[in-house]
Chains A and B, each alone.
Chain A
């Protein structure tokens, strides 16, 4: 998709597809996982064709998620390295939450909150995948002891709950900060959005554009 004039490209088409495959997997995993976690949510298994189908399909979706998120990680990790100013930004979190970003330091491609989402998801998905293999009895029953499976299933559910909470924060932030969803659907943001939320990134992008124009 072409970037409209006055806008900046934020995500390539491949990155957006990658993101949405990951998102779809995560939602399906949350629904199927929650259905087997709490009896009150067992009815959600109907979405997957019943309990046995839910049990069978959940780990396979997990594999797709792991692969898809690994790609996403390769794409984005270097944008998410923690910088000194991220600490300063976090200290100003009250102001940011009150929609006053002027008193916080200028933000590069990602702010500290986004970086926290990135790193916690990276860690949680890795933990979920590893513990998921331990409790994937259909193929891996013989490789671990029952006691190890008990630890794995408890850690798996704790990690899943944390991941769902991080996911809620992620989705809410995208809704709250207007103009953000477009970055992931159309791939571009307006100059004003970049100025308001990611000013350092805007300057870098503008500078690199100017360099390319000068060449």
Chain B
């Protein structure tokens, strides 16, 4: 999928150009209300249909998760968790639709070495531009949510595009369109946040006192947000990170190290040049040659006196 003309680019991987700033693009968000999800996987089917994806047929592994994990051709996966609530003694079904969170501060984009292989549109969608992808897997290392998958078939990384092509022409993502319970909502980020607030209030009145919105500030907020019944412990939802942020290792690698490395290498080269200018070449003199020849002639044993070495 190429860059979409109708969407301004706010950030572009491995690039320095200034993004267009005249148009004010409304930030969008997908709101996934986990408390309303029934785990039907209509969203998975809709995603496959709209994006022409056919993940490989897998095997039953004793879980409702199908496929078991995100794949290059499976951009969203329902993750089923059976959770014993210690407070109530109830068994709760926590069904989380996993996929790209479209971070405001995307670790994948930060890590990507290929100019324009990952872009962030003005509306907040983070998109992989496959034609620029070189298949290095740096995005996998950059992502705090373990989302991108590199295909063994074409060595390109894939993930949810938030149906950027649909959004560009004013349509909701395929998953949101297909959801039968309204658990997946799509709209402007501010509308979705307001709506989530109402849902959270409602859940609290129904006894979920820790209900809340998952919009983690560690990555600047996300453009896919969850309403969680237990927002105080996101990790019970199949390992949703409690406080995701770009790894310090990735930060160092992609931040401070780059200028320091270039400076270090330049200093080494400049250091050599300056030494050449100051000290000059270390040249073998004729005298050295005479001494060398003499040592060779005398089997290294005797060092000849200066008078003799100067003699022809």
Whether, in the assembled complex, B87 has its beta carbon less than 8 Å from a beta carbon of chain A, the answer is no
Are A207 and B301 closer than 8 Å at their CB atoms? yes
CA distance A202 to B289 in the complex (A): 12
A190-B134 contact given A165-B264, A178-B283, A205-B300, CB 8 Å threshold: no
Chain B 114-137: CB-based contact to A (< 8 A → 1; otherwise 0): 110000000000000000111111
Are A202 and B300 closer than 8 Å at their CB atoms? yes
Chain B 66-100: CB-based contact to A (< 8 A → 1; otherwise 0): 00000000000000000000000000000000000
Are A98 and B272 closer than 8 Å at their CB atoms? no
Chain B 159-179: CB-based contact to A (< 8 A → 1; otherwise 0): 000000000000000000000
Chain B: CB-nearest residue to A35: B113
CA distance A205 to B300 in the complex (A): 8
Chain A: CB-nearest residue to B258: A38
User: For residues 266 through 312 of chain B, which have their beta carbon under 8 Å from a beta carbon of chain A?
Assistant: 268-269, 272, 275-276, 279-293, 295-296, 298-301
The dominant DSSP class at the A interface is helix
CA distance A161 to B263 in the complex (A): 10
CA distance A146 to B150 in the complex (A): 13
Chain B: CB-nearest residue to A207: B300
A190-B264 contact given A137-B137, A209-B296, CB 8 Å threshold: no
A192-B134 contact given A6-B296, A154-B257, A210-B299, CB 8 Å threshold: no
Whether, in the assembled complex, A103 has its beta carbon less than 8 Å from a beta carbon of chain B, the answer is no
Chain A: CB-nearest residue to B132: A51
- Chain A residues near B272 (CB-CB < 8 A): 168-169, 172, 176
CA distance A168 to B258 in the complex (A): 18
CA distance A36 to B258 in the complex (A): 11
Chain A: CB-nearest residue to B260: A161
Whether, in the assembled complex, A91 has its beta carbon less than 8 Å from a beta carbon of chain B, the answer is no
CA distance A38 to B14 in the complex (A): 8
Q: Which of A17-25, A73-81, A193-201 contacts B (4 or more CB under 8 A)?
A: A193-201
Whether, in the assembled complex, A4 has its beta carbon less than 8 Å from a beta carbon of chain B, the answer is no
Contact of A150 among B115, B247, B264, B296 (CB under 8 A): B247
Chain A: CB-nearest residue to B146: A146
Interchain Cβ contacts within 8 Å, total number: 179
Are B300 and A210 closer than 8 Å at their CB atoms? yes
The dominant DSSP class at the B interface is helix
CB distance from B249 to the nearest CB of A (A): 4
Whether, in the assembled complex, B15 has its beta carbon less than 8 Å from a beta carbon of chain A, the answer is yes
A203-B300 contact given A99-B280, A169-B268, A169-B272, CB 8 Å threshold: yes
Whether, in the assembled complex, A149 has its beta carbon less than 8 Å from a beta carbon of chain B, the answer is yes
Whether, in the assembled complex, A63 has its beta carbon less than 8 Å from a beta carbon of chain B, the answer is no
Are B14 and A42 closer than 8 Å at their CB atoms? yes
Q: Interface size (A, Cβ < 8 Å)? A: 61
Chain B: CB-nearest residue to A208: B300
CB distance from A88 to the nearest CB of B (A): 19
Whether, in the assembled complex, B158 has its beta carbon less than 8 Å from a beta carbon of chain A, the answer is no
- Chain A residues near B258 (CB-CB < 8 A): 37-38
Are A137 and B299 closer than 8 Å at their CB atoms? no
User: For residues 125 through 151 of chain A, which have their beta carbon under 8 Å from a beta carbon of chain B?
Assistant: 135, 137-138, 141, 146-147, 149-151
Contact of B261 among A38, A135, A168, A204 (CB under 8 A): A38
A42-B288 contact given A168-B272, A206-B298, CB 8 Å threshold: no
A161-B295 contact given A146-B146, A172-B275, CB 8 Å threshold: no
Enumerate chain B interface residues (CB-CB to A < 8 A). Answer: 14-16, 113-115, 132-138, 140-141, 146, 150, 155, 247, 249-250, 252-253, 257-258, 261-262, 264-265, 268-269, 272, 275-276, 279-293, 295-296, 298-301
Enumerate chain A interface residues (CB-CB to B < 8 A). Answer: 6, 8, 36-40, 42, 45, 50-52, 54-56, 97-99, 101, 135, 137-138, 141, 146-147, 149-151, 153-154, 157-158, 161, 164-165, 168-169, 172, 175-179, 190-197, 202-207, 209-211, 213
19 pairs, A vs B, C-beta closer than 8 Å:
A39-B15, A39-B16, A51-B114, A99-B280, A138-B135, A138-B155, A141-B137, A141-B150, A149-B140, A178-B282, A178-B284, A190-B289, A192-B284, A192-B292, A193-B288, A197-B282, A203-B295, A206-B299, A211-B299
